[in-house]
Amino acid sequence: MLLMSAAEKLSLHALAMLTAGVVLASAAFLLWFPQAAEPVLHFREVFGGTFRSVIQTSKQPQVLKGSCCF
């Protein structure tokens, strides 16, 4: 609202500076947020369950029968 009302009264250069100031001021509070901790996941933890599930599914008779017929 501030920028829209100031657009009629200010020059283009002053309006650009005001816009930059408003954007920086509104984003400045992000500097005080703590950073999130990086998750520590190993390859086995991420893909282990999925790989076991794929192996178990591929051994089922319905899957073996369906893959041989095409």
What does the pLDDT profile of the chain (70 residues) look like in tens digits? 878 888 888 899 999 999 999 899 989 888 888 888 887 878 777 788 888 888 888 888 777 676 665 5
Read off the tokens for 67: 């893959």
pLDDT of 16:
92
For the beta carbon of residue 15, count every other beta carbon within 10 angstroms: 15
**Distance between CA 30 and CA 32 in Å, rounded?**
5
Contact at 8 Å (CB) between 26 and 14? no
- Does the global pTM surpass 0.85? no
Nearest to 26 by CA among 34, 15, 18: 18
